[in-house]
C-alpha cells in the first residue's frame, strides 16, 4: 500500500537533487529546465529541491490526493496528471457541487436522448423523493438548475470540453484515418458524420466524432470537402498524416470522377506517405448489402405485415417477441424508414421467418391478402434472403469488435469471401446444407407441389451471390494493395524478409534476430509490443505500425451513433441546431469523460 511517509526528524544533510520517487509520493516531476520540482497538479514550480520543501507544498496544497494509496492507483494518478487530466480535484464548495451535479444530469439526459424540457421534470421527481425520504436535504436542489435553456447551454459546454480534449490529443497523432457516414440520418435531414481514428506516439488509439456536416448546406462535393478540411485544420491536423478513408458506398462518396473520395485522395497526395487507403464496406454492411440481395422486394412486403401487427395484432401472444424486439430498438412509435432498416437485419428476418405460419393465420383473420404464401418464387426468395442476411449479420457483428487493428478485420473479410465462394459452389450443386431457411421452404414446397420437378432456379441465386462477391472485392480493394504491410504488422517475426518491401528488409532482419524483442512479442499484445519498439532503431517498421493502427478496424463507433439515432428518433427529429445535434452525438459516442472541474470553474467564472 502507498502511504506518504511521516518524518520523525529532519535530515540536515539532504541532497539538493531531484529524486525520481518523489513523482509518485508528492506528484512532482523534474522540470525540463532549471532546478526545483514541477507540481503536476497546480503546475507551480517548487524552487527548492529539498524534500521537506517539496513535501510541505504537497501537504499544504494537495493533501486531497492522499486518498490514492495503492501503488497501482498512485501510478495511474500520476499518468492522468501527466496527460493534463485535472478531473480529480480537491473538495468542492456546496455551490460547486450543485453545478457539477447539474452538469452530470444534463449529460445523462443527453445520453438517454431526452428533450431539453425534461430536466425540469427530473428536478421535480428528485424533489418529491427527497421530501419523503430525506426532508432535511431538500435544500440541496436549490442550486441545481435544469431549465431548458440551462440544459442546452450545459450540453454545449460539455461538447466544447470534450472537443478540446480531442484536439489536444489530435495534435500528437502520428497518423489518422477518417470515417465518413452519410447513412446514419436516412430517416431525417441529410447529415454527414465525420469520425476520426488517430494513433499517438505510444500507439494509443483514439476514436471520436470530429464533426457533423449538414449536407443541405454543403450540397456540392467541393463544399463538403471544404467543410472537412476546415474541421481538420481546427483540430490541428494536416492531410499529410491521413492514412485511410472509410465510407459508405453511395455515389456522393465513391463516384468515379466526382465522388468525395477522389477529391480527398488528390488533396492528400504526399511523397512521404501512402496513397490514402479507401474501403467502403465497413459502415452499415448488413443494411446496405440487403438492397443487393433483396431481389423480390421482400422487405417492403414484410414491413406492411409488421405495421398491421402493430396496429391490429398487438394483443396476440405469438407476436410478443417480435413487438418486444421492435420496441427495444426504436420505441413504440416508429417511422417507416426506421422500420424498414430494422427489418433489413438478419436477426429480425430470422425471427419473422419463424413466425411465418402465425403471420399467415393473422392475415387471414383480418381479411388481408395472403397471396405471397402461395407464390412459389416469392417463398424461395424469402428463404434465401433470410439465410444470406444471417451470414451478413455474422460478419457485421465480427466487424463491430474494436481494438483488433485492421489486419485482423481484413482476415475476417477474407474468411467471409471464402464462405461466399463455398455458398456459390453449393448452390451450383443444388446442395442446400448451408441454406437452412431456404431448405425448409423447398421441403415444404415439394410436399405442396409433388408433381413439380423444379421448385427453384439455382442460377437466380448464384447471380445474387456472385454480385455480393464482386461488391466485397470492390469495397476492400485497397486493403489488398497493402496486404503485405498488414501481414508484416500482424506477424513481424514470421514474415519472410525477401517478401517485404526493399526499404524495410534490413530492419526486419535485425528485428527477427533480436531475442529480447521476440520474447516481448510472445507475451504482449500487438499494441503493447509496437508501443515499446524503438523508433530510432526501427523507424520504418514503427512507421508502418502507426499507419496500420490508424486504419479503422471496426464499425463500432458508427453503429453506436446509428443506434442512438434509432432509439431517440422522436427527440432528434425535433428542431435542433447543427451545433446542438453535434453535441448530442459527441456525448453519445465518445469514450472520454468531461473534465468536470474545468466545467465547474467555467460556470463560476461566467
pLDDT digits (tens, 9 = 90+) for 387-440: 999 999 899 888 887 767 888 888 899 999 999 999 999 999 999 999 999 999
CA distance linking residue 329 with residue 443, whole number of Å: 34
Q: Cell 514550480 maps to which residue?
A: 45
Instruction: Assess whether 461 and 534 both reside in one domain.
Output: no
10 Å CB burial of residue 481 (0-12, 13-18, 19+) is: exposed
Over the stretch 481-494, which tens digit does the pLDDT of each residue have? 888 888 889 899 99
| 235 part of a folded domain | no
The residue out of 425, 453, 478 marking a domain boundary is 478
Q: Do 344 and 429 sit in the same domain of this protein?
A: yes
Asked if the model's pLDDT at residue 313 lies above 80, the reply is no
Domain limits at 400?
295-478
In a domain, 96, yes or no: no
- From the list 422, 401, 425, 421, the residue with the least C-alpha distance to 412 is 401
Burial class of residue 9 in the structure, from the number of CB atoms within 10 Å of its CB (0-12 exposed, 13-18 middle, 19+ buried):
exposed
Least confident of 111-120, 336-345, 373-382, 428-437: 336-345
Are 300 and 434 members of one domain?
yes
| pTM metric for this prediction | 0.79
Does 104 reside within a domain?
Answer: no
Counting the structural domains of the chain, the total is 4
Report the C-alpha gap between 491 and 468 in whole angstroms: 30
> Do 404 and 456 share a domain, yes or no?
yes
* 467 plus 420 within the same structural domain: yes
For residue 544, give the nearest of 237, 58, 278, 174 by alpha carbon. Answer: 174
Considering the domain architecture, whether residues 381 and 308 belong to the same structural domain is answered as: yes
Q: Cα–Cα distance between 480 and 33 in angstroms, integer?
A: 49
DSSP for residue 141: G
Judge if 300 and 384 occupy the same domain: yes
Residue at 389 is within a domain:
yes
Check whether 567 has a pLDDT greater than 60.
yes
Same domain, 447 and 498: no
Contact 475, 249 (CB under 8 A): yes
Pair 458, 375 in one domain:
yes
- 514 domain residue, yes or no: yes
Instruction: Say whether both 334 and 432 belong to one domain.
Output: yes
What pLDDT is attached to residue 7?
Answer: 31
Residue 60 confidence class, pLDDT cut points 50, 70, 90:
low
Task: Tell me, yes or no, whether 470 and 526 share the same domain.
Answer: no
Q: How confident is the model at residue 18 (pLDDT cuts 50, 70, 90)?
A: confident
The neighbouring-strand residues paired with 208 are: 196
Integer Cα distance of 424 and 440 in angstroms: 19
Under the banding of pLDDT at 50, 70 and 90, the label for residue 336 is low
Q: Which of 420, 451, 478 is the last residue of a domain?
A: 478
Shared domain check, 440 and 522:
no
pLDDT of residue 70: 76
Please report the beta strands in 47-204, taking only residues with DSSP state E, as ranges in sequence order: 175-181, 191-199
Of 478, 502, 519, the one marking the end of a domain is 478
- Letter string b/e over residues 329-359, b meaning 16 or more CB atoms within 10 A of that residue's CB: bbeeebeeebbbbbbbbbebbbebbebbebb
- Looking at residue 17, its pLDDT comes to 73
- Would 110 be classed as within a structural domain? no
Assess if residue 406 is contained within a domain.
Answer: yes
Q: What confidence category does residue 604 fall into, taking pLDDT thresholds of 50, 70 and 90?
A: low
**573 domain residue, yes or no:** yes
Amino acid at each position: 500500500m502507498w502511504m506518504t511517509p511521516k518524518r520523525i526528524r529532519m535530515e540536515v544533510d539532504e541532497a539538493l537533487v531531484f529524486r525520481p520517487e518523489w513523482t509518485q509520493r508528492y506528484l512532482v516531476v523534474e522540470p525540463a529546465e532549471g532546478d526545483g520540482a514541477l507540481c503536476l497538479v497546480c503546475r507551480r514550480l517548487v524552487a527548492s529541491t529539498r524534500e521537506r520543501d517539496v513535501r510541505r507544498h504537497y501537504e499544504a496544497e494537495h493533501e486531497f490526493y492522499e486518498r490514492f494509496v495503492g501503488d497501482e492507483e498512485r501510478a495511474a494518478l500520476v499518468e492522468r496528471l501527466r496527460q493534463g487530466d485535472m478531473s480529480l480535484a480537491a473538495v468542492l464548495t456546496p455551490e460547486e457541487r450543485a453545478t457539477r451535479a447539474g452538469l452530470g444530469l444534463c449529460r445523462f439526459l443527453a445520453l438517454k436522448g431526452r428533450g431539453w424540457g425534461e430536466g425540469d421534470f427530473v428536478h421535480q421527481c428528485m424533489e418529491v423523493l427527497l421530501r419523503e425520504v430525506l426532508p432535511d436535504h431538500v435544500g440541496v436542489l436549490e442550486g441545481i438548475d435544469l431549465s431548458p435553456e440551462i440544459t442546452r447551454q450545459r450540453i454545449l459546454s460539455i461538447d466544447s470540453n470534450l472537443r478540446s480534449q480531442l484536439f489536444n490529443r489530435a495534435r500528437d497523432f502520428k497518423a489518422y484515418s477518417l470515417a465518413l457516414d452519410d447513412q446514419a440520418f436516412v430517416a431525417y435531414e441529410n447529415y454527414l458524420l465525420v469520425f476520426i481514428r488517430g494513433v499517438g506516439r505510444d500507439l494509443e488509439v483514439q476514436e471520436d466524432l470530429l464533426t457533423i456536416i449538414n449536407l443541405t448546406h454543403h450540397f456540392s462535393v467541393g463544399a463538403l470537402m471544404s467543410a472537412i478540411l476546415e474541421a481538420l485544420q481546427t483540430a490541428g491536423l494536416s492531410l499529410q498524416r491521413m492514412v485511410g478513408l472509410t465510407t459508405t458506398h453511395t455515389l456522393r462518396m465513391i463516384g468515379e470522377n466526382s465522388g468525395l473520395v477522389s477529391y480527398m485522395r488528390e488533396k492528400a497526395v504526399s511523397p512521404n506517405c501512402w496513397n490514402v487507403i479507401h474501403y467502403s464496406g465497413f459502415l452499415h454492411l448488413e443494411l446496405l448489402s440487403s438492397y443487393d440481395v433483396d431481389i423480390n422486394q421482400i422487405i417492403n412486403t414484410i414491413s406492411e405485415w409488421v405495421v398491421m401487427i402493430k396496429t391490429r395484432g398487438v394483443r396476440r401472444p405469438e407476436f410478443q417477441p417480435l413487438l418486444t424486439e421492435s420496441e427495444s430498438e426504436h420505441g413504440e412509435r416508429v417511422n417507416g424508414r426506421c422500420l424498414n432498416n430494422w427489418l433489413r437485419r438478419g436477426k429480425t428476418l430470422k425471427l419473422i421467418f419463424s413466425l411465418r405460419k402465425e403471420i399467415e393465420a393473422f392475415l387471414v383473420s383480418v381479411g388481408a391478402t395472403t397471396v405471397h404464401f402461395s407464390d412459389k418464387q416469392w417463398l424461395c426468395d424469402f428463404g434465401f434472403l433470410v439465410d444470406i442476411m444471417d451470414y451478413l449479420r455474422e460478419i457485421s457483428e465480427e466487424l463491430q469488435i474494436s481494438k483488433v487493428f485492421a489486419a485482423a478485420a481484413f482476415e475476417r473479410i477474407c474468411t467471409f469471401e471464402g464462405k461466399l465462394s463455398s455458398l456459390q459452389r453449393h448452390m451450383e450443386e443444388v446442395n442446400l446444407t448451408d441454406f437452412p431457411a431456404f431448405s425448409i421452404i423447398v421441403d415444404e414446397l415439394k410436399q405442396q407441389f409433388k408433381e413439380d420437378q423444379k421448385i427453384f432456379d439455382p442460377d437466380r441465386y448464384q447471380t445474387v451471390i456472385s454480385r455480393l462477391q464482386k461488391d466485397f472485392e470492390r469495397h476492400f480493394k485497397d486493403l489488398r494493395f497493402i496486404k503485405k504491410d498488414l501481414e508484416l504488422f500482424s506477424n513481424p517475426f514470421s514474415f519472410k524478409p525477401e517478401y517485404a518491401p526493399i526499404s524495410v528488409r534490413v530492419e526486419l532482419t535485425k528485428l527477427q534476430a533480436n531475442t529480447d524483442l521476440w520474447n516481448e512479442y510472445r507475451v504482449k499484445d500487438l499494441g503493447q509490443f509496437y508501443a515499446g519498439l524503438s523508433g530510432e532503431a526501427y523507424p520504418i517498421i514503427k512507421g508502418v505500425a502507426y499507419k496500420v493502427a490508424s486504419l479503422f478496424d471496426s464499425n463500432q463507433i458508427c453503429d453506436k451513433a446509428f443506434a442512438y439515432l434509432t432509439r431517440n428518433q422522436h427527440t432528434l427529429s425535433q428542431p435542433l441546431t447543427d451545433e446542438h445535434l453535434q453535441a448530442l452525438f459527441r456525448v453519445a459516442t465518445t469514450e472520454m469523460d468531461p473534465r468536470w472541474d474545468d466545467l465547474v470553474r467555467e460556470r463560476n467564472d461566467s
